[in-house]
């Protein structure tokens, strides 16, 4: 319940009443759980947190209904919150951004046009929106001005990108085989040796279009170590730059601690083998 805890921490820092803080936390958690259920359906994931996913246990139709139910429960919860109209607009916008970013990740031609900038834009929509939601909503409930609300949102989006990059490093082997969007693979395609990058781009495009697993992925994983290390440095620099923009912000300390907890450094040894990755 990391997002719910973040909502409570930010709301508490700004003196929001407990009722409003808990309502916000519940709504954020319900939206996140809905996205988790739907994400597992899209990925055909058999497990979630060490247990059978909803789709694996009860089937895809039930899982879709469960995700929809949780999402609507979030909006029903918002009806009980102060400033419910503004919060409802914010939640609607964030959920729409998340869905659009998630859908674009399934574009079979994504790898043919991918750049670092496009990757960040997609991840801000896919992951950043759900990290920004509890922060921005708490800032609104806490009565912060528009500039401070925007700065808090921007930093929270950077946290979301950092979180996704960290997750990508752990999932690089699986994403490589499937041809799915991954920060390490983007780094290798866009910033490494041009010839190898173009070859990898074409292979990933083929895997995404046809669902054909890449050959010799174990060898490829080993060759991605420099890209993984560069990706970690890139992630840390993104967070550092975002932190500079948060100077003097009422939520600076809370958000800094959240960023450390959300995207800790990943050892390069994690790239040592397919099993480790």
Residues with Cβ within 8 Å of 135's Cβ and at least 6 positions away in sequence, in order, are 6, 7, 10, 152, 153, 155, 156, 251, 255
* pLDDT of amino acid 276: 31
Residues with Cβ within 8 Å of 172's Cβ and at least 6 positions away in sequence, in order, are 182, 184, 185, 221, 224, 228, 271, 277
Please, what are the domains in the chain? 2-271 (1.10.600.10)
* pLDDT of amino acid 144: 93
- What is the reported pTM? 0.83
* pLDDT of amino acid 31: 95
- Burial of 174-213, coded b for 16+ CB within 10 Å and e otherwise, reads ebbbbbbbbbbbbbbbbbbeeeebeebbebbbebbeeeee
* pLDDT of amino acid 277: 28
Query: What distance in Å separates the CA atoms of residue 206 and residue 196, rounded to the nearest whole number?
Result: 15
User: Tokens 């080993």 identify what position?
Assistant: 222
* pLDDT of amino acid 239: 86
User: Tokens 């010839």 identify what position?
Assistant: 195
Rounded to 5 degrees, what are φ and ψ at 143? 80, 20
Per-residue pLDDT of the chain (277 residues; tens, 9 = 90+): 889 999 999 999 999 998 889 999 999 999 999 999 999 998 888 989 889 999 999 999 999 999 999 999 999 998 876 667 888 899 999 999 899 888 888 887 888 889 999 999 999 998 888 899 999 999 999 999 999 999 999 999 999 898 899 889 888 888 888 888 999 999 999 987 888 888 888 888 887 776 655 555 555 666 788 888 898 898 888 888 888 888 899 999 999 888 887 765 544 333 333 333 2
What does the pLDDT look like over 32-71, one tens digit per residue?
999 999 999 988 889 898 899 999 999 999 999 999 999 9
């Amino acid at each position: 319940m990391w997002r719910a805890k973040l909502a409570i921490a930010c709301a508490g820092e700004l003196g929001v009443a407990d009722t409003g803080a808990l309502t916000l936390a519940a709504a954020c958690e319900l939206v996140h759980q809905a996205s988790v259920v739907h994400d597992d359906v899209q990925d055909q994931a058999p497990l979630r947190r060490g247990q059978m996913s909803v789709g694996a246990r009860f089937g895809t139709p039930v899982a879709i209904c469960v995700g929809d139910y949780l999402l609507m429960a979030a909006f029903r919860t918002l009806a009980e919150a102060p400033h419910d109209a503004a919060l409802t607009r914010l939640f609607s916008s964030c959920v729409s951004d998340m869905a659009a970013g998630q859908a674009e990740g399934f574009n079979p031609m994504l790898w043919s046009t991918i750049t670092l900038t496009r990757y960040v834009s997609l991840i801000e929509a896919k992951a950043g929106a759900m990290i920004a939601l509890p922060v921005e909503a708490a800032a609104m409930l806490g009565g912060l001005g528009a500039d401070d609300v925007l700065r808090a949102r921007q930093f929270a989006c950077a946290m979301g990108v950092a979180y996704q990059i960290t997750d990508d490093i752990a999932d690089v082997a699986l994403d490589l085989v499937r041809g799915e969007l991954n920060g390490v693979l983007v780094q290798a395609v866009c910033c490494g040796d041009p010839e190898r990058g173009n070859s990898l781009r074409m292979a990933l495009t083929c895997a995404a279009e046809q669902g054909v697993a890449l050959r010799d992925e174990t060898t490829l994983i080993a060759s991605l170590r420099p890209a993984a290390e560069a990706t970690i440095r890139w992630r840390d620099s993104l967070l550092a730059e975002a932190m500079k923009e948060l100077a003097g912000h009422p939520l600076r300390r809370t958000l800094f601690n959240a960023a450390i907890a959300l995207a800790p450094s990943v050892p390069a040894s994690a790239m040592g083998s397919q099993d480790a990755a």
